[in-house]
Amino acid sequence: MLELNKLYNMDCMEGILNIGDNTVDIIMTDIPYNISQNKKIDRSSIDNRRLKRGKRSKELNFDFGGWDFFADNKDYFEFINHVFTLAYSKLKESGSMYMWCPKNEVSFIEYILKDIGYHVRSTLVWCKTNPCPQVFKVGYMSSTEFCIFATKTSGAKHYWNIEKGQKHSYWIKPICQGNERTEHPTQKRLDIAVDMITQSAKKDDLLLDMFVGSGTFLEAAYEVGLNFIGFERDEKWFNVANERIQSVMAQTRLF
């Protein structure tokens, strides 16, 4: 069995096997997006202000690295099915799951989750007030991130903090800035994670994050009095997240 309040530098498919069945209160995780294949955009032919000023064009790079690379969509969806089938057995009957996922695949991923047995309840949205500008400026900016909210069971058996009242299913906030910002390309906001966690979990509950990245959800969990277990396969991001979490754990908790 794994120690609580620890981040493990390992593949979640291995790590998760060491967690007891029906022991996790909340899964909050942010899966690989499968957008890294052949996604470099060469802007050298774009007559933009940068070129007019005689500067070099910048190549936009959507290649997040090996952690986001899958052979094809079949490989990607099989991976998701495998990880979330393992995770399902670890979740308590009263448990909830928040799964951040690529916007193009939300419906398909919801279908996979339902097939596993999850009760898919809502699709939550983070509307970014300062998104990355559009390259060719002839379309909409990519200003939204999606998070599927599901529970292990249907009905009203899951924990829900009724003191927080009814909630909207969207957050309107800028991308992470200032001290919170790390180098991780898909970092999520700490305050949104805290809001979600305090809605669906209580002090001393256990949060599991299989795809830790820079450690946002582990920091949020710890700050509001939960225990956590996290897995991050990439050594670079493991070190970033571990440092972040160690520094938070050295400070006093909010609860």
Q: How far apart are CA 231 and CA 8, in angstroms?
A: 5
The Cα angle at residue 218 between residues 215 and 221, in degrees rounded to 5: 150
Residue 231 within binding range of ligand SAM, rule CB under 6 A = yes
**Residues in contact with ligand SAM, shown as a per-residue x/- string from 17 to 56 under the rule CB under 6 A:** -------------x-x------------------------
Angstrom distance (rounded) from CA 137 to CA 6: 44
Tokens of 2: 């794994």
Q: Which of 88, 216, 224, 229 touches ligand SAM by CB under 6 A?
A: 216
Q: Cα–Cα–Cα angle for 3, 68, 98, nearest 5°?
A: 55
Alpha helices per DSSP H over the chain: 12-15, 49-52, 73-90, 106-116, 190-200, 216-223, 235-249
Give the binding range for ligand SAM (CB under 6 A) out of 49-57, 102-110, 157-165, 231-239.
231-239
- For ligand SAM, the binding residue among 76, 171, 228, 237 (CB under 6 A) is 237
Q: Does 232 bind ligand SAM (CB under 6 A)?
A: yes
Helix (H) or strand (E) holding 100: strand 91-101
Residue 90 in contact with ligand SAM, rule: CB under 6 A = no
Give least dist CB 130 to ligand SAM, A.
Answer: 17
Q: Which of 63, 180, 195, 234 binds ligand SAM (CB under 6 A)?
A: 234
The residue type found at 88 is Y
Region for 93 from its dihedrals, namely left if φ exceeds 0, alpha if ψ lies in -120 to 50, beta otherwise:
alpha
Among 94, 96, 187, 242, binds ligand SAM (CB under 6 A): 187
Among 211, 218, 220, 228, binds ligand SAM (CB under 6 A): 211
Of the residues 90, 152, 158, 188, which one makes contact with ligand SAM according to CB under 6 A: 188
Provide the binding-site residues for ligand SAM, judged by CB under 6 A: 11-13, 30, 32, 67, 184, 186-188, 211, 213-214, 216, 231-234, 237
